[in-house]
Structure 1
Amino acid sequence: MVQEPTAQYLEQKVTEAKVHFERALACKHTEFDDLYPYMIEHPQFFWYKRYVAWSELLTVVKLCNELKVTWEEQFTSQQVNYIQKRVMSAKVLDYWFETNDSKEHVG
């Protein structure tokens, strides 16, 4: 018997998707690199890697919205705005980490 997802489970999935996206933005290693190691040789790889991570984040947020699970607390208000617009623009790529005129860094 399959259990329905809990709010805590979905919140963890949002955290994982956020970390994946932020690591992709910072050009750090993700599990995607392990799945497609040959793509590292191609310049378009980083755009595709970011697109995949962004899509994952949007999918998890969509599930949270449909199940009425809160996800916004894990993000700055500007990041929430980007996610709600759903379009990964140059602005998202350039300013995702911007908070109060300083940069946050992915661990």
Structure 2
Amino acid sequence: MGKENVPVDYFKTKLREAKVHFERALDCKHTEFDDLYPYMIEHPQFFWYKRYVAWSELLTIVKLCGELEVNWKEQFTPQQINYIESRVMSGTVLDCWYESKEHVG
């Protein structure tokens, strides 16, 4: 597929969905992951793993957007862009993802 045939709206939608998924995981809210692995809720490491899966999904979509020259940065704050570009999900990312009290509903 050439870049001239890239469905930009599709990738922007997938990026928005990945961002929401990651933010819901950060906020310990229900995600599709809970439905796939309901037994994991009983284990303390579940929330860390759930966040890792959502972070990986977000990075994958961002990588595809970059390769296809789809602007992904417009959906994020400058600080979030820095976190994504560093690619490492750290305690800082988990604690400081939101620069304001604005959270996913």
TM interval, shorter chain, is over 0.9
Taking structure 2 as the reference length, the TM-score comes to: 0.93
Is the CA contact 2:65–2:72 (under 8 Å) kept in the aligned structure 1?
A: yes
Please report the RMSD computed on the Cα atoms of aligned residues, expressed in angstroms. Answer: 0.9
Runs of 4+ in structure 1 displaced over 4 angstroms? none
Identity of aligned residues (%): 76
Aligned pairs (5 A) from 1:1-107: 5-98=6-99, 102-107=100-105
What is the SS of the residue equivalent to 2:58?
A: helix
Q: Which runs of 5+ in 2 are unaligned?
A: none
Query: Structure 2 CA distance, aligned partners of 1:78 and 1:104?
Result: 14
Give the helix-richer structure, 1 or 2.
2
Offset, 1:92: 0.2
Offset, 1:105: 1.4
What is the SS of the residue equivalent to 1:40?
A: helix
Offset, 1:45: 0.2
Q: Which amino acid aligns with 1:59?
A: T
Offset, 1:5: 4.4
